[in-house]
Structure 1
């Protein structure tokens, strides 16, 4: 499997491509990373150095990859945080060209906008871009519950309302939806869930809620789920493997006391997930 991953990159720590590439490589996926920024560290620190990469320069890198005749071999185009309208246009153009070269390729979009605790933390034009143009072009989308609500103009909270929101999102274009950070009022205390839906059904996994904030964990989740789904065609299989790997990554990070994901130290959890959580079919 080959993945063209168009995302941000940092020198220190693990977000964007700096979070997604290594776990994919560890499970045997060939990754072609294209950077949209090259920062010293993620912006959660409040200070960082390094450049935003101009959309035209990102497009040039992608064109250079295309010149090598690689596009027919690409199975997945993966994108995450989009810093500007221009980057969105570059990604959508790359998706069109990859799919023209390989009609079996899929586009997986992590529609990064914000979360329930912090609200929306991207430029005002980005949510509109994602909702109106990018997500409808995607085959796989991986929003958190907050982002799902924005994309569908709904308020998902219960399982039934979250499933209804997913149905509305799938009706706009994507076939496969992974909803992260699902928090239902009737869930068991100190737990959190992930929900995966495709044309075959809907499945949910519940894990303990760890008392931590982990920048980059969504990037790892989107990458692993997309790769597992592309390989197996099974949302339940992809969900179970992804949740197991990410939970163990977060547990090791929490126990370490480190601010950054213990991405390299957790590598066996990607290659050999313990599959310690039940995957429950809910539809």
Structure 2
């Protein structure tokens, strides 16, 4: 059976006002005043590649929490739900061809977003939904249990594409992962046509990988590990991979381009000593990355 992405490539990409190969994307995630994480990274990346983006903030922060405590502005759940209803019922909703979600501040936000995505898909059955489950990293969960459960139960069944990091995949599936074979097995239990696992196991020393798991294939893109790199690489990877698929690129090429862009930007930012990705300065890396990425086709899931 052909996936939505296969069908889109055959049609030559999008057909609406954003351009012949550019979709209008709705992005629902966090907003920071300073920095390049959450919606700041997602919107800039998508717009740099020619996509029109609608942005809904789930929380506003002065900066990434890793830089220190700061005031949090969280929209009232009732107001957030009302905005989602407005969008779902708007005549402009016909323009939306894809949705990407990231950080959520409450269970109600997750459920309202799920309702919005379902409504948009009733209008446009070809709607593409990318779930970037911002749950935690390196053994630490960021969100309370009710938010985590809502993401797993309400959003995951709607996703055409999920982009968890290795820890998030283990949490979502309840399966431990000691190698890429374990990650492939776990990813395929999600029931999602494509799962892009960031921070996968690399085969080259001193490297890290992005593992793309499809129904019958698995591709690993490796690059050198950047010590003390800036935050936001996962947000940027999800946005760029989605953008390349919406352009009509194959999953393998989309993976290579997204991985090369993020590695290039993170490496160049790290060399300057800055603690936020220099997206504006390195915008050329979003559209035409030059970094070399090691691509490998992996065997299918292991027998348990």
Give the alignment's TM-score, normalised by structure 2: 0.86
**Are residue 156 (structure 1) and residue 174 (structure 2) matched?**
no
Q: Is the contact made by 1:206 and 1:277 (CA closer than 8 Å) also made in structure 2?
A: yes
SS at match of 1:70: helix
Q: Is the contact made by 1:198 and 1:235 (CA closer than 8 Å) also made in structure 2?
A: no
* Separation of aligned partners in 1, 2:274 and 2:180: 34
What is the total number of aligned residue pairs between the two structures? 277
SS at match of 1:164: helix
Alpha-carbon distance, 1:55 to partner: 2.6
Q: Is the contact made by 2:27 and 2:54 (CA closer than 8 Å) also made in structure 1?
A: yes
* Separation of aligned partners in 2, 1:62 and 1:5: 12
Q: Is the contact made by 2:111 and 2:154 (CA closer than 8 Å) also made in structure 1?
A: no
**Are residue 240 (structure 1) and residue 256 (structure 2) matched?**
yes
Partner of 1:182: 200
Unaligned runs of 5+ in 1: none
* Separation of aligned partners in 2, 1:44 and 1:278: 30
Correspondences of 1:36-75 after superposition (within 5 Å)? 36-66=58-88, 68-75=90-97
Cα deviation code 1:104-142 (max 9, x no counterpart): 1011111111112x5212222222222222212211100
One of 225, 231, 249 as aligned partner of 2:265: 249
Correspondences of 1:104-183 after superposition (within 5 Å)? 104-116=126-138, 118-169=139-190, 171=191, 174-183=192-201
Partner of 1:4: 26
Alpha-carbon distance, 1:209 to partner: 0.5
Q: Is the contact made by 1:80 and 1:111 (CA closer than 8 Å) also made in structure 2?
A: yes
Q: Is the contact made by 2:101 and 2:131 (CA closer than 8 Å) also made in structure 1?
A: yes
Q: Is the contact made by 1:83 and 1:123 (CA closer than 8 Å) also made in structure 2?
A: no
Partner of 1:274: 290
Cα deviation code 1:140-161 (max 9, x no counterpart): 1000111111111111121211
Partner of 2:213: 197
Partner of 2:242: 226
Unaligned runs of 5+ in 2: 1-22, 300-304
**Are residue 76 (structure 1) and residue 98 (structure 2) matched?**
yes
RMSD: 1.7
Alpha-carbon distance, 1:255 to partner: 0.7
Give the alignment's TM-score, normalised by structure 1: 0.92
* Separation of aligned partners in 2, 1:124 and 1:63: 25
Correspondences of 1:20-39 after superposition (within 5 Å)? 20-39=42-61
